[in-house]
Amino acid sequence: MNDNPSRSTELSANIRRLQNRIEELGRIGAITGGGVWRVALSDEDQEGRNLVVRWMNDLGLSIQVDQIGNVIGTRAGVLDCAPVLIGSHIDSVATGGLYDGALGVLAGLEAIQTLSEADLKTQYPIAVGFFTNEEGVRFTPDMMGSAVHQGSLSLQTALETVGTDGQTVGAELIRIGYAGDTPVKNMTPQAYLELHIEQGPVLENTNTTIGAVTGVQGISWTEFELQGVSNHAGTTPMHLRHDAGYVAAAIAVEARAIATDFGDNQVATIGVSELTPNLINVIANRARVTVDLRNTSDAKLHQAETRLIGFATDTAATEGVTLEKRTLARFSPVEFDTVIIDMVEKAAASSNHTYRRLPSGAGHDAQMFAPNCPTGMIFIPSTQGISHNINEFSSEQDIAAGMDVLMKVLLELLQKQLSN
């Protein structure tokens, strides 16, 4: 075993092997025409998990599956203590790309394999993990597994969560064989690091290769269930209508108005809008609509939520439609560790990669670790800023740059005493 950390500067990962793994994992749940469907706790997620666990086994990692199905593989260090953890997710949205989440997990595997092939001993153990249900499209909230791992969501609440198809998280974990017995909240890493695609246009539009991520913006997911009265589209006078479809549409228009009026970083998305009976000549008696609000400022996000809910409540009352609302996810903005942000910038500069600081518009498992240990993220560009779309793409050159920065920061973390 080589314990000369200075040799570590010569370490370079095998990008072809990383690309091959991205493509191999991408064949699981592959959508004809491109992209992946690997929704949390589905058969496809199970198959993807099994593949990554096989790769962890091939590397001789000590593998733990916890009670919410998070999987962490660890390579021992000189010290017998909590590891430096590289993580992300392998579940996807229903119209996912090859890189969202998968890049971070497979880059972690590649980093460990590179260390082992160099026979390099590290002070701290290093671990790579994938967390259950990061996307939150079948079971809410998103980042479920990492939230339970770090104690901000109770295991029981998560296991009892009923998905969009009526199944519970607990039952599905058992069905796919990932209801582990390692207790959750069992580990706070020395540090947590995540390589991820930006999923937005900033890096590409500014010709920048590396993002030194400063934090994650606040996220608010609300579901409105509206109950009106079905009636004939032609015979029912307008003043006698209780049109759930109209209220759902009004909520959608108001969500966009909030983003327009607030400006700055405020975004608003109507992701789900379902009418019942959904027929051209029938006034909808039921509607389900979801609103995703995000802002880097928690205070402004609260203002946006208050305006949205006030509008929805008043509009439903005026229309004589009952309204039930459910908060599906609510995360305040988080800041990442300035020491790690500096490390990312220094590592990028040392390899002459262009870099810049930016907040993350998307949620990530990293945000669940940020309150508890030094945490940071490295972004690489998304072509045309596209993600949560089958056309998501990042170039091999940018992946190599992200891997290069990850290795450099990792090696520093693995040998460095970090103040907690």
Q: Which residues bind Mn ion (CB under 5 A)?
A: 100-101
Tell me how far, at minimum, the Cβ of 266 lies from ligand HGY, in Å.
Answer: 15
Pairing between strand 231-232 and 282-283? antiparallel
The residue among 74 and 222 lying less far from ligand HGY, judged by its C-beta, is: 222
Dist. CA 341–CA 337, nearest whole Å: 6
Tell me how far, at minimum, the Cβ of 196 lies from ligand HGY, in Å.
Answer: 10
Q: Does 136 bind ligand HGY (CB under 6 A)?
A: yes
Both structure tokens of 124: 């701290």
The residue among 63 and 272 lying less far from ligand HGY, judged by its C-beta, is: 272
Angle at 328 between CA 72 and CA 293, to 5 degrees: 105
Q: Which does 136 bind (CB under 5 to 8 A by kind): ligand HGY, Mn ion, none?
A: ligand HGY
Dist. CA 63–CA 58, nearest whole Å: 11
Measured in residues, the chain has a length of 420
Q: Does 363 bind ligand HGY (CB under 6 A)?
A: yes
The residue among 22 and 316 lying less far from ligand HGY, judged by its C-beta, is: 22
Under a CB-based contact definition with an 8 Å cutoff, are residues 88 and 134 in contact? yes
Q: How many residues touch ligand HGY (CB under 6 A)?
A: 6
DSSP characters over 128-148: EEE-TTSS-SSSSSSSHHHHH
Binding mask 243-282 for ligand HGY (x = CB under 6 A): ----------------------------------------
Q: Which residues pair with 153 in a beta bridge?
A: none
Tell me how far, at minimum, the Cβ of 22 lies from Mn ion, in Å.
Answer: 14
Q: Which does 101 bind (CB under 5 to 8 A by kind): ligand HGY, Mn ion, none?
A: Mn ion
Tell me how far, at minimum, the Cβ of 203 lies from ligand HGY, in Å.
Answer: 17
Give the relative orientation of helices 43-58 and 102-117 as an angle to the nearest 10 degrees. Answer: 10
Tell me how far, at minimum, the Cβ of 100 lies from ligand HGY, in Å.
Answer: 7
Exposed / middle / buried, residue 246 (Cβ in 10 Å: 0-12, 13-18, 19+): buried
Both structure tokens of 75: 């390579």
Tell me how far, at minimum, the Cβ of 308 lies from ligand HGY, in Å.
Answer: 18
Q: 3-class SS at 37?
A: coil
Q: 3-class SS at 102?
A: helix
Q: Which does 412 bind (CB under 5 to 8 A by kind): ligand HGY, Mn ion, none?
A: none
Tell me how far, at minimum, the Cβ of 388 lies from Mn ion, in Å.
Answer: 6
The residue among 135 and 204 lying less far from ligand HGY, judged by its C-beta, is: 135
Q: Which stretch binds ligand HGY (CB under 6 A): 134-142, 145-153, 228-236, 393-401?
A: 134-142
Q: Measured in Å, how far apart are the chain's first and last C-alpha atoms?
A: 29
DSSP characters over 373-394: S-EEEEEE--GGG--SSTT---
The correct pick among 44, 91, 134, 337 for binding ligand HGY (CB under 6 A) is 134
Tell me how far, at minimum, the Cβ of 329 lies from ligand HGY, in Å.
Answer: 8
Q: Which residues have a Cβ under 8 Å from the Cβ of 300 and sit 6 or more positions away?
A: 262, 264, 265, 266
The residue among 143 and 287 lying less far from Mn ion, judged by its C-beta, is: 143
Give the relative orientation of helices 396-415 and 102-117 as an angle to the nearest 10 degrees. Answer: 60
The residue among 269 and 276 lying less far from ligand HGY, judged by its C-beta, is: 269
- Restricted to residues 141-180, the positions that interact with ligand HGY (CB under 6 A) are 142
* 101-138 CB burial, b ≥16 within 10 A, e <16: bbbbbbbbbbbbbbbeeeebebbbbbbbbbbbbbbbbb
Both structure tokens of 239: 């003043």
The residue among 100 and 110 lying less far from Mn ion, judged by its C-beta, is: 100
Under a CB-based contact definition with an 8 Å cutoff, are residues 374 and 339 in contact? yes
The residue among 136 and 381 lying less far from ligand HGY, judged by its C-beta, is: 136
Q: Which stretch binds ligand HGY (CB under 6 A): 129-137, 160-168, 172-180, 264-272?
A: 129-137
The correct pick among 44, 110, 135, 194 for binding ligand HGY (CB under 6 A) is 135
Q: Which stretch binds ligand HGY (CB under 6 A): 35-43, 131-139, 260-268, 269-277?
A: 131-139
- Contact residues for ligand HGY (CB under 6 A)? 134-136, 142, 362-363
